[in-house]
Chain A
Amino acid sequence: MAKTITRQEPALGVDAELARRLLGEMLLIRRFEEKAAEAYALGKIGGFLHLYIGEEAVAVGATSVLRPDDYAISAYREHGHCLAKGSDPRRAMAELYGRRDGLSKGKGGSMHLFDRSVNFLGGHAIVGAHLPVAAGVGFGIKYRGGDQVVVCYFGDGAVPQGEFHESMNLVALWKLPVIYVCENNRYAMGTSTERALAQTEIWQFGRTYGIPAERVDGMDVLAVREAVGRAVERARADKTPALIEADTYRFRGHSMRDPAGAVYRTREEVEREKQRDPIALFRGYALAAKLVTDDDVRTLEKDAVDRVDEAVAFADASPEPPGEWLFTDIYGEPPREA
């Protein structure tokens, strides 16, 4: 049941259109994050900002096998998951800017993107806490007799939390259509998996709980797509949950307050990992397989730049939320207390 897969070539079911879509979405996320970093440096974005640069293949590959009515939920490094699920980059950027046209009206911020229109259930910033919530979404699907699935993204940092283990147990016990995708970027903030986990092969926890599990190259968008695709198929068929460990790496620090990310890892390691850049890898593959042309790539790159420029302009132009919004959206009806 549990196994490690290697890339099969040529990947099944990849046509030119899909290749352009996968590449385009990864480029969009990359560009979005680069511009977010710029905006942070300019003081346009405050608080914590966790960039997804380097990990784009996970969100894009996983989402590529989902239907619009499937759900996704994530932690606080979630811009990529939200955009991949189909959110408008303009409204996502406006949320980072804390503006009224943001997805959450500016009340959520970078760590709390939510988008009901694409079934994106947030942006949760207490490590591990959204894993049981994902199980609940799966519970709801099964309760209603639906055939949707929920994909729950989390980092290796969530694995030592109790809620990871409670969630694995519950989805296996109750057979819930939840696909847990662990983005193992090897560091929970500055703590490496070796320093945090007695079992560093995270997918092996699937065995413990009787959940189909596998480890996948998280820098390979097609490998992620295939692994999550298998899990989605099982989940739709008979509600079988899954645990997928995507071996990935963040090229930037933990957050913008950890710009170099080099205290706890060597510069050599970072440079070496950058050779596994998921965008460069897939671009190279798609060009060699003649799925895309150089022109296609240039067009996709320009599209990403244009869409993100537009998102930044939109965010900049969006007004701040009005003061009275401080007290809205706390309760369904206005609170009685001031």
Chain B
Amino acid sequence: MAVMTYREALNLALREEMRRDPSVFVIGEEVGLYEGAYKVTQGLLREFGPRRVVDTPIAESGFTGVGIGAAMTGLRPVVEMMTFNFALVAVDQIVNTAAKIRYMSGGQYHVPIVIRGPGGPAAQLGAQHSQSMESYFYHVPGLKVVRPTTPMDAKGLLKSAIRDDDPVIFIESETLYNVKGDVPEDPDFLIPLGQAIVRREGTDVTVIAYMGMCYRAMEVAEELAAEGISVEIVDPRTLRPMDTESIIGSVRKTHRAVVVEAGAGFAGMGSEIAAFITERAFDDLDAPVERVTGANAPMPYARNLEKLKTPSKDRIAAAVRRVCYANGG
């Protein structure tokens, strides 16, 4: 085990998988010579050369399609979106081609591609560069969607994503790249896709949260412990396929659930999680499932407005108190 940043963990995952499997290559804008806009691919060009670390022009649809064609014929591309916002330019390639090739070909072809990059709320990047992107992809059968919260998850999940035979949307976060944590150095360390993790054990209420919202919820849980509320935090890690069993299991124990998500709430991840908890664990619930979501507004630039856009600790705490019918809820 070593302590490293989330960024270093991703970099290590890429290196290990590229050393392990010569069919793995990295492609995207500024991934080589520039060493990555967020330095996730730092040093890869030096170690693996331009054949396997491929700088592209600004053509997201084009180079995503290149990745898909290479994947259909036996390679394992890791396509970097400089920020995941740019994946919208390639959404047809991702949704209509990558996700559907296996199905449309009756299983003859598959697309083992990873499309990765940072997404979610960042710091004053404004409406086009600061938004939760997962909702555009987890709706699509054929795609897997990963949101790794910790450096350990970043490494273990990225390695699993690269070895996976299906297209994986792997969305990191600008705000987490410098977060430090324990990361196993064992090159065989993997975290399977589709497994949630209990970040904090508790007995009174289940909070489901990932990425920055998970860290925020952890702080809230600490504060609420002083009020006598015991919060359990479940991080889904993979949004599709989602580990519904673990979430339901936790809710059956605590009888209360709060879903926190950074993205706009309308038809968001929280809607889906709240729906399946209600469908499958209604009789176990002692309170309606609460959602604490990003505001249904584009991301503003002004710092004060930006703060209002994403769920605050106060809003999370208030929701937890409400489902516990506690004071201040």
Contact = CB atoms under 8 A, between A and B. Distances in A.
Interface string A139-155: 11101100000000000
B105 A116 contact: yes
Nearest to B102: A329
A114 B100 CA distance: 12
Interface of A is mostly: mixed
Interface in A144-178: 144, 162-163, 166-167, 169-170, 173
B135 interface: no
A129 B109 contact: no
A133 B65 contact: yes
A114 B104 contact: yes
A112 B75 CA distance: 22
B185 interface: no
Interface string B81-124: 00000000000110011000111111111100000000000000
A138 B110 CA distance: 17
B37 interface: no
A332 B101 CA distance: 12
Given A105-B106, A137-B69, A329-B106, A162 B61 contact: yes
A169 B59 contact: yes
Interface string A92-129: 00000000001111111000101110000111101001
Given A121-B109, A337-B244, A107 B65 contact: no
A136 B166 contact: no
B62 A169 contact: yes
A135 B65 contact: yes
Interface string B27-39: 0000000000000
B69 A135 contact: yes
Nearest to A335: B241
A103 B68 contact: no
Interface in A48-72: 71
Given A137-B72, A139-B66, A122 B101 contact: yes
Contacts of B274: none
A135 B71 CA distance: 12
B329 interface: no
Contact of B165 (A73, A115, A130, A332): A332
Nearest to A334: B241
Contacts of B137: none
A329 B107 contact: yes
A116 B241 contact: no
Contact of B61 (A106, A112, A132): A132
A286 interface: no
A132 B108 contact: no
Contact of A163 (B62, B70, B101, B240): B62
Contacts of B43: none
Nearest to B112: A332
Contacts of B68: 132-133, 136
A199 interface: no
B298 interface: no
Contacts of A335: 141, 241
A104 B61 contact: no
Contact of B241 (A131, A162, A170, A336): A336
A144 B74 CA distance: 10
A143 B75 contact: yes
Contact of B70 (A131, A139, A169): A139
A173 B108 contact: no
For the complex of A and B, the 5 pairs showing the least CB-CB separation, nearest first, are A136-B69, A132-B65, A166-B62, A105-B106, A114-B105
Interface of A: 71, 73, 102-108, 112, 114-116, 121-124, 126, 129-141, 143-144, 162-163, 166-167, 169-170, 173, 328-332, 335-337
26 contacts: A104-B104, A107-B104, A114-B101, A114-B108, A114-B109, A116-B108, A116-B109, A121-B69, A121-B73, A126-B92, A129-B65, A131-B65, A133-B68, A136-B68, A137-B73, A139-B66, A143-B70, A163-B61, A167-B65, A170-B62, A330-B102, A330-B142, A331-B144, A332-B102, A332-B110, A337-B241
